Every structure is written in C-alpha cells, then in structure tokens.
C-alpha cells in the first residue's frame, strides 16, 4: 500500500496475563482503536512483572522507532508495579517526583478517602510513589488514582497507562482525542465486506484477481463467515481500487454486508424497522443465541425471550414437541428443530422464532449424527425453514457456529 500508515507498538505487563488469572483485553482494545484510526499496529508484546524482561520489551519496541508506543500495566503502589522505573531505564533517564502528577495523586486519593470513609493521611504516603515519572516525561490525568506517563524518544510518542481495563481504555481515548486534534491520525477509509456460506479458499481468488497495491487488505474467518477488510488513505485512485474490489467480491461470493454491518446489526435493524419480534428455543447452544440477540441496547424492542429446552421433557412440555416425533427422529433432527421453532413462536406470540438442536460434543456423536451436526430452524409467518450444518472444532466452536447459522437463517427469512 502506498503512503505508509503510522506504526504503533504495544507492550503489556502483568503476571496475571500470563498465568491464566486474567484475560487480556487492553491489547485487543487499543489495537482495534488504532487500526480504525489509520495506524498500523506492528507488535503486541506481553511480559511478566519482571524488571529485566519489561525493560527489554520496551527497548525492543523503541528500537523499531514506531510512531507510537502504548504501554499498559505496572503503574500502581505494589512491588510489581515496575513500568515507570523500566521506562526510565529504557529511555536512559532517572525517575523523579513530578509535582503535577503528585497533585493528581493527592486529589484522587482524597476523593477515594472521602467516599470510602478512609484516613487520607494513611493512604497518601502509600500512593505517593505513583507520582514518580521518568525525567522529561509528563503525567496523563488518571481515571483511577495512578497518572499515566507521556514521553518521547525521537519520532516515537510514548504513552503508559495502568492495566485496569476501565482506566486503560478511558485514558487512551482521552489521549487519542488530543492526538486527533493535533492531526496525528491520517485520513483513512475502512471498508468491511462480510461473506457467509463459502470458505476462505473460495474468496482468495476473487481478491487476487483485482489490483490492490493502494490498499491494505486483510481477510479473516470465524463462525462460518469470511470478513474482508480494506484500509487505505483517502484519494481517488485508492477509492477506485476499493470500489472495484468490493464489486468483484459481491459478484463472486455470497456477500451479506458491504457496509461493515454484522449479521447481528442486520437482524436487529430488520426486526426494528419492520416492527417485528423474535423468540428462541435452544438446546445445544444453551442460551447463547438469546444472549446474542439481547446483547445490544434496545433489543427489548424486538426480542421477547425463549426456552432453553435441553431436556426432551422441556421440549415436550413447553414447546409442544410431540413425544412420538422425538422417539422416531431423535432430538437432533430436522423434524424436531422445526417443531421447536414453531412451538416457541406459538408460546411467545413472536413473529419469528429460532431453534437450535445439535451434537456439540465432545461426546454423544454417532455415525448417523456425528459431533458437529446442528439443525437450526426459523418459524415465521410464511413458513418454517430448517437448515442442516456439520461444523468443525470443539464444543465451543460448534455452539458458536450454530448461533451464527441461526442468525443468518433469520436474516434470510426477514429478507424474504
């Protein structure tokens, strides 16, 4: 892609991120935000709370001279909060108590003490070390107690934040707003094309047949979908390449979204715009489909609820699935999935109802009904439609595939 984008590196520290105690989210958050703003993230490094390793990670990242280095974690009051000291070491400067940072810490500790009915004079000496910054740096206003750190080496702007996700995200977004005001972020366009029903191998030739030297093109796969992401500096030649590539994908693959909207977005919009409602009946997905439908604000406009009918008795008693049907075809079958959807629609009065029944594994499969077999059904005003799928992966993957397949079935039924 011509006209190189700014580059960023991310360094995260914390033993809890490496021993399974805490799921790391800061790297994913800041990488996604930077990417949307036109910055190319070249590395995300996670290290333990260890002075040598953290310093080495910072030196490694700085050696590549990125335009931006974002550091998360290690700013606090405990023995393993080493970021300020390690950053000073990597920059070749000393630590010093910054008066502005000290004022920030004092204000925040006083705020905490007042609201928790604690003794400020006892807390403040414990928190004071959070005002120690590398010489030449400046504090970033805190979202908690600890200020962040803003520094610079050559072309690299450096920003360090506490690792608590709320604090990290709040402080980064505040920094990003200032950088935007300064014109740091380039004028870029992002176009996202979403495809359902074919594999990456079938999409790749469509991409390879089109010119894309002015574009940064990415492709990823998940939940039965292929997503193609185009990013480029705004300008007529690049715009033309992107338009041609999107047109080629639309002509050659089952594209369901070329404006970035997800299947969740499309279903929600169609239901809301049509004044329609939906309910669910879930077996192997155990509530995951209902969770997807209810995840967005305002979902009460169209999502009524549903039944988690894991046991056959619940299928019979709450969804009116005939006992004879279960005995003849089994719970994982086209017939039962359709009956579950129709039963959920009748029980709730919804305009549409979705049902999922399958063998998620790892056990329970047979030659006729192997692990990964999932039936999804949609019952609506016109008909009850059932789709069979056989999905790869572990239990979690099969359940995710089932939820995605159900949403796509509803999307198609809503589109007529």
CA 96 to CA 88: how far, in whole Å? 10
Tokens of 354: 């979705």
User: By percentage, how much of the chain surpasses pLDDT 90?
Assistant: 93
Q: How is the chain split into domains, by residue range?
A: 7-181, 188-257, 263-414
User: Which architecture, in CATH terms, is 188-257?
Assistant: 2-Layer Sandwich (3.30)
The answer regarding whether domain 7-181 maps to CATH 3.40.980.10 reads yes
- 190 touches 231 (CB < 8 A): yes
The whole-number average pLDDT for the span 326-340 is: 98
Which pLDDT score, from 0 to 100, does residue 360 have?
97
Whole-structure pTM value? 0.80
- How far apart CA 412 and CA 415 sit, in angstroms, is 5
From the list 294, 272, 313, the residue with the least C-alpha distance to 354 is: 294
Tell me how far apart the terminal alpha carbons of the chain are, to the nearest angstrom: 40
Tens of pLDDT along 384-395? 999 999 999 999
Q: What is the pLDDT of residues 10-42, one digit of tens each?
A: 999 999 999 989 999 999 999 999 998 989 999
pLDDT band at 350 (very low <50, low <70, confident <90, very high): very high
Q: Which pLDDT band, with edges at 50, 70 and 90, does 48 fall under?
A: very high
Q: What burial class does residue 271 get, using C-beta atoms within 10 Å of its C-beta: 0-12 exposed, 13-18 middle, 19+ buried?
A: buried
Distance CA 225, CA 192 (A): 12
Mean pLDDT, the chain, rounded, equals: 96
Size (the chain), residues: 416
Q: Which fold has domain 263-414?
A: Maf protein (3.90.950)
Question: Within a 10 A sphere around the Cβ of 89, how many other Cβ atoms?
Answer: 19
Please say if the pLDDT value at position 291 is more than 70: yes
Pairing of strands 278-282, 352-358: parallel
Q: What's the pLDDT tens digit per position in 225-265?
A: 999 999 898 888 999 999 999 999 999 999 999 999 999 99
């Amino acid at each position: 892609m011509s006209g190189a984008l700014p580059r960023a590196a991310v360094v995260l520290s914390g033993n809890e991120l490496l021993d399974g105690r805490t799921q790391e989210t800061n790297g994913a958050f800041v990488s996604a935000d930077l990417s949307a703003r036109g910055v190319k993230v070249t590395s995300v490094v996670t290290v333990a709370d260890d002075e040598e390793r953290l310093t080495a990670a910072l030196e490694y990242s700085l050696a590549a001279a990125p335009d931006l280095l974002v550091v998360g974690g290690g700013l606090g009051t405990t023995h393993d909060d080493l970021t300020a000291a390690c950053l000073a070491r990597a920059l070749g400067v000393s630590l010093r108590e910054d008066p502005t940072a000290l004022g920030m810490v004092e204000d925040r500790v006083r705020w905490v003490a007042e609201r928790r009915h604690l003794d400020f004079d006892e807390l403040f000496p414990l928190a004071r070390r959070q005002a120690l910054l590398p010489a030449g740096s400046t504090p970033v206003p805190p979202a908690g107690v600890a200020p962040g750190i803003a520094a610079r080496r050559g072309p690299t702007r450096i920003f360090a934040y506490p690792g608590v996700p709320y604090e990290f995200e709040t402080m980064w977004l505040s920094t990003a707003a200032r950088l935007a005001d300064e014109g740091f972020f380039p004028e870029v366009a992002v176009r996202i094309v979403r495809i359902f029903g074919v594999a990456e191998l079938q999409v790749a030739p469509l991409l390879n047949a089109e010119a894309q030297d002015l574009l940064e093109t990415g492709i990823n796969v998940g939940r039965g979908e292929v997503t193609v992401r185009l990013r480029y500096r705004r300008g007529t030649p690049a715009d033309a390449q992107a338009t041609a590539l999107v047109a080629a994908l639309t002509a050659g693959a089952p594209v369901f979204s070329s404006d970035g909207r997800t299947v969740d977005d499309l279903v929600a919009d169609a239901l809301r715009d049509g004044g329609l409602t939906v309910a669910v009946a879930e077996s192997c997905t155990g509530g995951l489909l209902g969770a997807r439908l209810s995840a967005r604000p305002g979902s009460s406009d169209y999502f009524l609820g549903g039944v988690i009918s894991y046991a056959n008795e619940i299928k019979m008693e709450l969804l009116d699935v005939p006992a004879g049907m279960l005995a003849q075809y089994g719970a994982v079958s086209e017939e039962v999935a359709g009956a579950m959807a129709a039963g959920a629609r009748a029980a709730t009065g919804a305009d549409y109802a979705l049902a999922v029944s399958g063998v998620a594994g790892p056990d329970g499969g047979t030659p006729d009904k192997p692990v990964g077999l999932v039936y999804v059904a949609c019952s609506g005003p016109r008909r009850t439609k059932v789709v069979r799928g056989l999905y790869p992966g572990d239990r979690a993957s099969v359940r995710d595939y089932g939820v995605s397949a159900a949403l796509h079935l509803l999307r198609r039924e809503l589109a007529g």
